[in-house]
Amino acid sequence: MRSRAPWDREQRTPFDEHAWPAKLTARVVSPEPDPRIHGYAVRSDLARHYRFSDVVFLSLTGELPTEEQSSTFEQALILLAPISVAEAPSHAASLARVCDASHSAVLGTGAIALAEQARFMVRNGRDDETLSPIFAMLAECGIERDEQLEAVWLVARIAVVAAEGLATPPASFRDYPLNLPAVRYEEP
């Protein structure tokens, strides 16, 4: 039996029999020239009359928040924002900067670590005494699905992770503590 190279267009496969769409389907944002998020005009409506946190809420839920939801949601974002260099996302971004990575690599490293932290915390942190009130605030706003909570976690913390990573001097190996915690080797 002859195996076919993936670029061999001569032989058709069952995959080729399906009529695939020619364009991506926009589900949240309609494209330029007048972009809209869930039907709301970005330039003439959202940018003029709403806070950034309201646009985040709209993006995740498909609806603009009530005044009470808006206030509670913004407070939850602010409460989630602080993330020290001792936590993996900020540490990873800072370490990427120490290694003289590009700005985009510092941001990408922090964002990936942050997304993984969000996944872990949403699944395991709801009983944490510090986080449970924030999760309760988000639930009060109608943000309860794991994917929504993970997105909120990322949006709330990404600016602080970026700031921490980009504040680290590039190639600053001499400033990086290499012996934390102190390592002590002992013979068995």
pLDDT digits (tens, 9 = 90+) for 14-65: 777 888 888 888 999 998 888 999 999 999 999 999 999 999 999 999 999 9
Domain boundaries, the chain: 28-64, 67-174
Is 60 exceeded by the pLDDT of residue 12? yes
Kind plus residue range of the DSSP H or E element containing 29: strand 29-30
Q: In the prediction, which pLDDT does 4 show?
A: 58
The pLDDT tens digits for 86-142 are 999 999 999 999 999 999 999 999 999 999 999 999 999 888 999 999 999 999 999
Under 8 Å between Cβ of 76 and 156: yes
Q: Residue 59: what are its φ and ψ, rounded to 5°?
A: -60, -40
